[in-house]
A and B are shown apart, each in its own frame.
Chain A
Amino acid sequence: MEKNVILSLKNVSKTFPVGKSLLGRPTKFVHAVNDVSFDVYEGETFSIVGESGCGKSTTGRLINHLLIPDSGEIWFQGKEISHISQDEMRPIRKDMQMIFQDPAGSLNPRMRVSELIEEPLLIHTDMSAEERAKIVNNLLKIVGLSDKHASRYPHEFSGGQKQRIGIARALTVNPHLVIADEPISALDVSIQAQVLNLLHKLQEEYKLTYVFISHDLSVVEMISDRIAVMYLGFVVETAPKEMLYKTPLHPYTEALLSAVPIPDPTLHKERIILEGDIPSTINLPKGCPFAARCKKCRPECLEQRPERVEVEPGHFVACHLYKK
C-alpha cells in the first residue's frame, strides 16, 4: 500500500536572536532548529524525541505556523505553508490542531469548559448554539468527563482532567493532524497512562495522524510508528520504531536508549554514560553536533557535518560512521 505523505519538512531552520548591541541589533543567535527534514505519513504517529533544548518543541511550533522558519519548506496536505499569511493559514488550522504540555496554562482561566471546547467551532464553522453544545457534550463524554462539567471553570479540574479538556478542544473540528507537544509530561504517572490510552483510542476512532513530541523514550516506544531523534537542533536519526529500538545507529540514540531507567529491579543492564553536558546552541560546533560527547568520535567528526544517509529502507542517520 502506498502511504500518503501528509506533512513534509524540507531543510527547515530557525534561529532566535539573543542579546542586543547598542544599536538594538542582535549580537548572537540561538540555532534552535537546523536543517530539519522529515516526512509524516497519513494515519501514523511520528514522534520527535530529544532532551531539553534539542529543538523539538520549536519544530512543533514551526509546523503549526506559530513560528515562521528562517529557511526551508513545510508542506502540509500538498501545500507549502511556511510563509503564507495568518489569513491563508486559518482554514488550514481546521485540519491541524495542537495539544500543549501545560494543561493549566493552555486553558483561558476566565472561560467555561463549554466555551473553551467550542471555540474552534466558532472560528471554523457557523453552527448554531445547540449544534455546538451537542458536539461539546459528546466530546466531554468521549474524553471521560461528564457533560455536567460543561459550565465549570478550568481551575476546578485536576491536571489530567484539564488535559482531557485540551484534547476535546483539539478534536471539535475533526482535524487530520494533531501535534502533541509533551502532552503527558506535566501529569502524574497513573494519569499519564490514562491520557496515552485516550490518545490511542482517539487515533483509531478518528483516523488521526499524530506528531508526538516527547523526551520520554518509553512513552514514545509505546505510541509511535516512526521516530526522529533530535540533538542540538539537528535530526540525527529517523527510523521506524522497531528498527530504532532494536538497532539504534547513531551513538547518541544508543546512549539515550541506554540511559532510560527501567522499572524492573531484576534487570541489570550495562549503561553508556555520556560525559559532559549538552553544549549551547549559540555557537554550534563546526562538525558533528554530538562529536564533543561521542565515544566513537573521529578527527573528521570535528571538522565536517555528517550527511544524512539511508542505511536500510526508512532508516536514516547523520553520522560519519555510516557512509554511502
Chain B
Amino acid sequence: MSQEVLLSVKDLRTEFFSSKTSSVTAIKDVSFDMYRGEVLGLVGESGCGKSVTSLSIMQLLKDTPGKVTNGSATLDGVNLVEASDTQIRDIRGGKMSMIFQEPMSALNPSMRIDKQMIETIRLHQDMTKEQALAHAADMLKKVGIPDPARVLKNYPHQLSGGMSQRVMIAMALSNNPELLIADEPTTALDVTIQAQILDLMKKLQKEDGSSILLITHDLGVVAEMCTRVIVMYAGKIVEMAPVEKLFATPSHPYTQGLIASVPKLGSGVKVLPSIPGSVPDLASMPTGCRFAPRCKYATDKCREQEPELLDISEDQKCRCWRTQEG
C-alpha cells in the first residue's frame, strides 16, 4: 500500500461561542495524517469531538456557533480551513463527500431522488441531464439497488432506512470522491440492515480503493471496516494505531477500558470491566490528563500535567504518562 498522504490535519482547534467573548473548546490539538486508500476510524463516545472534527474538516460549521480557531486541514494541497466559500463548494460533493447518520434528514424530502442525484452530479461533472440520469442509475445499481428506475422516481419518504442510506452512498460516490467521510453511517439502522450496508461499503472500497474516514462509536464496526484507528476522548486524540494493534495491545488506559467494556458475542462473560464515572463537561475540563479522574493508574503527575501525543512505536501514538515513561 502506498503511503501517500491524502488529508493532513494539523493542530486543529474548534471552539463553540455562546457569545463574542465566551466559548468552550470542543476539540484541541487534533493532528493526524490520512493516507490514500485507507479506511481510518475515528472512535469515541458522545461529546468526544469526533463529529466536530469531521464537520471542521468539511467546513460545515458555518451555520453553528462553532468556529475553527487554530490549525489546518489540507486535502490534496488545499487548506480547507482557509479556502474560500466557492473553493469549498467545489471540493465538497466532488473531491470530498459525506454520508450522515440520518439518511432521511440528509435527503431533501420534497424532491424526487432523480432530481437530487442529477443536481449533485451536474454540479461537479460536465454532463447533460440524460447522461447524469444514466450515471445516477448506474450508481444506484452499484450500491445494490435492484430496481434503480423505480427508486429514482421515488421521494425520500417512500424509501426505507436501509434503502435511503444506499441512495446517500450512491450520491456521495457519484462524483468519484478522493475522500469519503462517513459519520455514523449505520448507527440509525437495524443490525441486519447494518450488515448489508457495511458489506456494501467494504465491497465498494475494495473495488475503487477509496479512502474513507469512518466516524463511529461502535468498536465492532471499527474492527470490521478500518485499517487504522484514532481514539478520541474529551476533545483530544488519545491514541492512534493500526486496527490489529489497537485491539491486541491497546496502550492508553481509556482505550483499554473501552475495548474491555464492550460485550463480545460468544465470550461468555457475565460481568464486564467498565470505566467508572462519566465524561467531563466541555466547560469544566480537569487540569492535567483529561482522563485522570476516571483512570485507576492516575498519579499526581497525571492530575497536574497534560501528556503529549507521542510515538510509542513506529506506528502507534499515545497520550499517556504511564506508557511514555515505561
Shortest distance between the CB of B298 and any CB in chain A (Å):
16
Indicate whether A221 sits within 8 Å of B258 (C-beta atoms), given known contacts A190-B45, A215-B190, A262-B220. Answer: no
Task: Output the least CB separation between A101 and chain B (Å).
Answer: 15
- In the complex, A274 Cα to B117 Cα: how many Å? 27
Please give, as numbers and ranges, the residues of chain A lying within 8 Å of B248 by CB-CB distance.
266
Stretch of A77-85, A125-133, A192-200, A298-306 on the interface side: A192-200
CB distance from A85 to the nearest CB of B (A): 37
Known A-B contacts A160-B278, A188-B279, A193-B273; A262 and B191 likewise in contact (beta carbons under 8 Å):
no
Contact with A189, one of B191, B217, B265, B278 (Cβ below 8 angstroms): B217
Whether A263 contacts B247 in the complex (CB less than 8 A), given A189-B45, A222-B263, comes out as: yes
| A158 / chain B contacts, CB cutoff of 8 Å | 278-279
Nearest Cβ distance between residue B49 and chain A, in whole angstroms?
14
Q: Which residues of B contact A215 (CB under 8 A)?
A: 190-191
Residues of chain B lying within 8 A (CB to CB) of residue A188: 45-46, 217, 279
Chain A residues contacting B259 (CB-CB under 8 Å) are: 263
Select which of A197, A218, A257, A271 is within 8 A of B264 by beta carbon.
A218
User: Measured between alpha carbons, how far is A198 from B315 in the docked complex, in Å?
Assistant: 38
A222 touching B272, Cβ below 8 Å:
yes
Q: Does B55 contact A (CB under 8 A)?
A: no
Interface: B223 (CB within 8 A): yes
- Least Cβ distance of A43 to chain B in Å? 15
| Complex Cα spacing A265 to B242, Å | 10
Q: Do B275 and A190 touch (CB < 8 A)?
A: yes
State whether A221 and B191 are in contact (beta carbons under 8 Å apart), knowing that A188-B217, A193-B261, A262-B223 are contacts in the complex.
Answer: no
Which among B30-38, B90-98, B192-200, B299-307 touches the partner chain?
A: B192-200
Whether A261 pairs with B224 at a CB distance below 8 angstroms is: yes
B243 at the interface (CB under 8 A from A): yes
| Contact B45 A262, beta carbon cutoff 8 Å | no
* Distance of B289 from chain A, by nearest CB (Å): 16
Q: Which residue in chain B gives the minimum CB-CB distance to A217?
A: B265
Q: Which residue of A lies closest to B261 (CB)?
A: A193
In the complex formed, the residue of A with least CB distance to B186 is: A261
- A294 within 8 A of partner (CB): no
Chain B residue contacts of A191, Cβ below 8 A: 45, 278
Smallest CB separation, A212 vs chain B (Å): 13
In whole angstroms, how far apart are the Cα atoms of A208 and B264 in the complex? Answer: 25
Q: Contacts of A144 on B, CB cut-off 8 Å?
A: 276
* B195 and A273 within 8 A (CB): yes
Bound together, the chains give a CA A37 to CA B263 distance in angstroms of 29
A75 CB within 8 Å of chain B: no
Knowing A192-B261, A218-B265, the reply to whether A263 touches B223 (Cβ < 8 A) is yes
The number of chain B residues touching the other chain, given as a range, is 35 or more
**Minimum Cβ distance to chain A for residue B203 (Å):** 11
Taking CB atoms and an 8 Å cut-off, the chain A residues in 193-229 that contact chain B are: 193-194, 196-197, 200, 215-219, 221-223
Contact between A261 and B263, CB atoms less than 8 A apart = no
Q: Which residue of B lies closest to A252 (CB)?
A: B192
| Contact A52/B264 with A193-B275, A265-B243 known, Cβ cut-off 8 Å | no
The A-contacting residues of B in range 265-282, CB under 8 angstroms, are: 265-266, 269-276, 278-279
Q: Is the CB of A277 within 8 A of B160?
A: yes
8 Å CB contacts to B: which residues of A206-256?
Answer: 215-219, 221-223, 245, 255-256
Judge whether A219 and B263 touch: CB under 8 Å.
yes
Chain B: CB-nearest residue to A49: B191
Interface assignment of B61: CB less than 8 Å from any CB of chain A: no
Q: Which residues of A contact B192 (CB under 8 A)?
A: 51, 255-256, 259, 274, 278
Answer yes or no: A264 CB below 8 A from chain B CBs: yes
A197 and B271 in contact (CB under 8 A), knowing A221-B266, A259-B195? Answer: yes
Among B191, B194, B275, residue most surrounded by chain A Cβ atoms (within 10 Å): B191
**CB contact between B199 and one of A192, A193, A260, A271 (< 8 Å): that residue:** A271
Q: Give the docked Cα–Cα distance between A81 and B226 (Å).
A: 51
A161: CB under 8 A from chain B? yes
- Complex: chain B residue closest to A267, CB-CB: B223
Q: A188-B217, A222-B263, A266-B244 are in contact. Are A193 and B274 (CB under 8 A)?
A: yes
Q: How far is the CB of B227 from chain A (nearest CB, A)?
A: 9
On chain A, the residues within 8 Å of B223 by CB distance are 261-265, 267
In the complex, besides A194-B276, A200-B270, A259-B191, 7 extra interface pairs with C-beta distance below 8 angstroms are: A51-B190, A193-B274, A194-B274, A218-B264, A263-B259, A263-B264, A271-B199
User: Can you report 15 residue pairs joining A to B where beta carbons are below 8 Å apart?
Assistant: A52-B190, A158-B279, A161-B278, A189-B218, A193-B272, A193-B274, A193-B275, A216-B263, A218-B220, A221-B266, A259-B195, A261-B223, A264-B223, A267-B223, A274-B192
B residues in contact (CB < 8 Å) with A: 45-46, 160-163, 190-196, 198-199, 217-224, 226, 243-244, 247-248, 257-259, 261-266, 269-276, 278-279
Could you tell me which A residues sit within 8 Å of B by CB distance?
A: 51-52, 144, 158, 160-161, 188-194, 196-197, 200, 215-219, 221-223, 245, 255-267, 271, 273-274, 277-278
